[in-house]
Amino acid sequence: MEEYIVSARKYRPLTFDSVVGQRALTTTLKNAIATGKLAHAYLFCGPRGVGKTTCARIFAKTINCLTPTADGEACGECESCKAFDEQRSMSIHELDAASNNSVEDIRELIKQVQIPPQIGRYKVFIIDEVHMLSSAAFNAFLKTLEEPPSYVIFILATTEKHKILPTILSRCQVYDFQRMTIQGTVEHLQYVAQKEGYTAETEALNLIAQKADGGMRDALSIFDQMVSFTGGNLTYDLVCQNLNVLSAEYYFRFVDHFLKGEVEPSLLLLNEILMKGFDAGNFIGGLASHLRDLLVSRDEQTLPLLETSDQMRARYHEQALRCKPKFLYRAIRLCNDCDQSYRTSRNKRLQVEICLIQAAQLADDDVPGAGLGPAKILKPIFAELAAARKSRQASHVEAPAATSASVQSSPSANAQPAQPSPSASAQPASPSSPQAAPRARVPYNNIAAAATSGSSVGEASPAAPSVPVSPVATAQAAEGRSSLPKLKLRSFGHHAEPAGAASEGAAKTDPAVAEKPREKMLVPLNDDEVYSAWFAAISQLPHEHNAMAERMKSMTPVVEGTSTIRVEVNNERVADYLRQLSPWLEAFLRPRLKNDEAHIEVQVSTVEVVERIYSKPERLKGMLSRNAALREMAQTLQLEME
């Protein structure tokens, strides 16, 4: 029976032209040999199984060939080539640095360097996994690596270039090997299968190449394993079964269910996958990759990014044309979010099922969103509650309308009768119009009215025309709700005036409006209530103040007296910003705390200076530095300070 040799050794390249996927490097080495411009040290770097040691052996064999061919390859017939093929050459030495990494091993190598080659022009030393050498071995090797004899060439190979000392890197010509492409790996596997008489589907070889992750040696090892399993007939289904890889057919079926909006079949298909023993986390990652492949398959320009066979590429393209780009964007985003939260989720299966349910609803054109993810919309849960709220708002609208009508019907007002429509009170009147009716004064603590007035806090001034309060805002304020998200803080040049302050004089002259002033609220402040209201104010700050909002979360407001809220910060810049923000904060806090005199005092914390404790040697050194007599005594008596 003929001795079996694995494919990775049997089909190891013997010439530069047979090396797969490293055309630029092999061309450079061949040109260097042809012109005689050989360096004394080379460093081959790259991932495992990409041809570093193979190229080193071919290079060593070629430079010692006595009769090289016209294209720069070794002849394979001379005495030097035969000695190398039969592994009896005394001019080429290989050292495994993983097991020979001590200083003694390097010293033994240095002794061999002194012996000239017996056959050929050069003595080549190939040191594999050179990053495993110890620091002492590296240092012992430096001088010989920098200035070896003229007939010595070192070829170092490593998979971890970052572990090599910079002093070693500076003495070598560095060649970086790249990973094998999927297409190049498939072509080489087809060549091996043809030589061995096996039949293999292109999709099966493509799956092996993807599993190898750019390593040709790994690809050949998996190929031998699949040959043993299938008996020489490699099909896509059998390779998927043996490698425990989920077939792409499942992903195509999932996308078909998503496009039809079918939730139940998607969940049943997921259950089928889990019953076969596949991990749900790996499945969601594979689904995201499948959606990405569909996205790049839509355009002819990005189609080369899909590394698969022509038959599978055509199928991807067909399904991609049935998917809208917005659907693919949202689905990829969903799968990516699910993959990130999968590891921390306690109910992992539910996490994946929620992702599939959401994905099955993305194909509907009525789903709102910007294309990066499903929109989150809150709708009223109970229709009865929504109807009751509308009726309550309508009752609040009738009262301001009646008050406005009574004011306009007064003999002192030169205005026409008010219309019964509630919308009439919401339209502002021109200040220059002689028929403008006087406005009712809005209390300072009515922050909801200030928010809905349309002006910013920093831009309001006593001379500005008043803006009437919306009846809806009045109803919201009466219910204890606020319209703060609409408030924009553009500047903090001076203390803000509330909306409606411009009409204060008109309100005073009108007895119908000023006859019932609001009573002042002076409820003593409480630490817990202030702390709760403080965080409520933070949550209502506009987006442009997010940085300050994060700082405010770490602050602790402290109550002093009945109306003072003291806030301590760590630097003056933050204190100035918070002082500018204080008018808005006070206007927000006063109605919640029921205290019209509540105000904020900002203080900058002082840093306590801690006196350093010196050790005994430090104290002795200080005494010696200040006392010359003590230094002289210590020198005379030869004292040692400990």
pLDDT greater than 90 at residue 628: no
The pLDDT-based confidence of 530 (bands split at 50, 70, 90) is confident
| Residues 157 and 194 both lie in one domain | no
Angle, helices 248-260 vs 263-275, to 10°: value is: 160
Q: Is residue 419 part of a domain?
A: no
Judge whether residue 442 has pLDDT over 70.
no
**416 within some domain:** no
Cβ atoms of 453 and 474 within 8 Å: the answer is no
Mean pLDDT (whole number) for 13-27: 89
Has residue 153 got a pLDDT over 70? Answer: yes
Confidence at 505, pLDDT banded by 50, 70, 90: very low
Query: Does 130 have pLDDT greater than 50?
Result: yes
Distance separating alpha carbons of residues 476 and 473, to the nearest angstrom? 5
Instruction: Give the confidence band of 518 by pLDDT, cuts at 50, 70, 90.
Output: low
Which tops the pLDDT comparison, 124 or 487? 124
Kindly indicate the confidence band of residue 374, based on its pLDDT and cuts at 50, 70 and 90: very low
Domain-embedded: residue 422: no
Res 252: pLDDT: 93
d(C-alpha 542, C-alpha 13), whole Å: 66
The per-residue DSSP string of 525-559 comes to P-HHHHHHHHHHHHHTS-GGGHHHHHHHHT---EE
- Res 156: pLDDT: 94
Q: What is the Cα–Cα distance from 71 to 84, expressed in whole angstroms?
A: 20
Number of Cβ within a 10 Å radius of residue 588: 23
Q: Please check whether residues 143 and 24 belong to one and the same domain.
A: yes
Judge if 83 and 148 occupy the same domain. Answer: yes
* Residue 304: count of CB within 10 angstroms of its CB: 10
What pLDDT was estimated at residue 210? Answer: 86
Side chain identity at residue 115, one-letter code: I
Look at strands 199-200 and 233-234 and give their pairing: parallel
pLDDT value of position 641? 63
Nearest by Cα to 466 from 442, 499, 490, 496: 499
What whole-number percentage of the chain has pLDDT above 90? 24
Predicted TM-score of the model (pTM): 0.53
- Reported in sequence order, the residue ranges of 440-592 that DSSP labels E, i.e. its strands, are 558-560, 564-569
- Asked if the structure places residue 330 within a domain, the reply is yes
pLDDT at 574: 87
Pairing, β 233-234 against β 152-158? unpaired
- Residues 165 and 186 both lie in one domain: no
More confident residue, 486 or 218: 218
Most confident option among 351-360, 419-428, 450-459, 526-535: 351-360
The answer on pLDDT for 360 being more than 60 is yes
CA dist 255 and 265 (Å) reads: 11
Task: Say whether pLDDT at 170 is over 80.
Answer: yes
The pLDDT assigned to 528 comes to: 82
What is the C-alpha separation between 525 and 564, in angstroms, rounded?
8
Q: Are residues 581 and 627 in the same domain?
A: no
CA gap 66, 80 in Å, rounded: 7
Residue 251 scores a pLDDT above 90: yes
Q: Indicate the residue among 359, 378, 412 that finishes a domain.
A: 359
Residue numbers of the domain that contains 222 = 182-243
* Pair (57, 106) in one structural domain: yes
Domain boundary, last residue among 152, 176, 200? 176
Calculate mean pLDDT across residues 499-524: 54
Mean pLDDT of 36-64: 91
Same domain membership, residue 547 and residue 465:
no
Tokens of 332: 């990829």
User: pLDDT tens, 96-129?
Assistant: 998 888 999 999 999 999 988 888 889 999 999 9
Across residues 419-448, what is the average pLDDT? 40
Q: Is the pLDDT score of 193 beyond 50? A: yes
How many other C-beta atoms can be found within 10 angstroms of the C-beta atom of residue 201? 17
Same domain, 212 and 258: no
- State the pLDDT at residue 332: 93
Please tell me which residue, 364 or 283, carries the higher pLDDT value. Answer: 283
Q: How confident is the model at residue 547 (pLDDT cuts 50, 70, 90)?
A: confident
| 609/265: higher pLDDT | 265
What CATH number is attached to the domain comprising 200? 1.10.8.60
Cβ neighbours around 258 below 10 Å, total: 23
**DSSP E strand stretches across 452-606:** 558-560, 564-569, 599-604
Say if residue 516's pLDDT is above 60. no
Say whether both 33 and 109 belong to one domain.
yes
State both tokens at 439.
């406005």
User: Which amino acid is it at 615?
Assistant: S
Residue 388 lies in a domain: no
Same domain, yes or no, for 52 and 161? yes
Q: At residue 626, does pLDDT exceed 70?
A: yes
Q: Which helix (H) or strand (E) holds 93?
A: strand 92-96
In a domain, 429, yes or no: no
* 624 neighbors 572 (Cβ within 8 angstroms): no
CA 84 – CA 57 distance, rounded (Å): 9
Please indicate, yes or no, whether residues 169 and 34 belong to a single structural domain of this protein: yes
Q: What integer pLDDT is reported at residue 269 of this predicted model? A: 93
Q: Is residue 394 in some structural domain?
A: no
Q: Examine the fold and report which residue of 121, 153, 176 is the final residue of a domain before the chain moves on.
A: 176
* Tally of domains within the chain: 6
How far apart, in whole angstroms, are the C-alpha atoms of residue 371 and residue 374? 8
> What is the domain-level CATH number for residue 16?
3.40.50.300
**Same domain, residue pair 150 and 12:** yes
* Residue 385 domain-assigned (yes or no): no
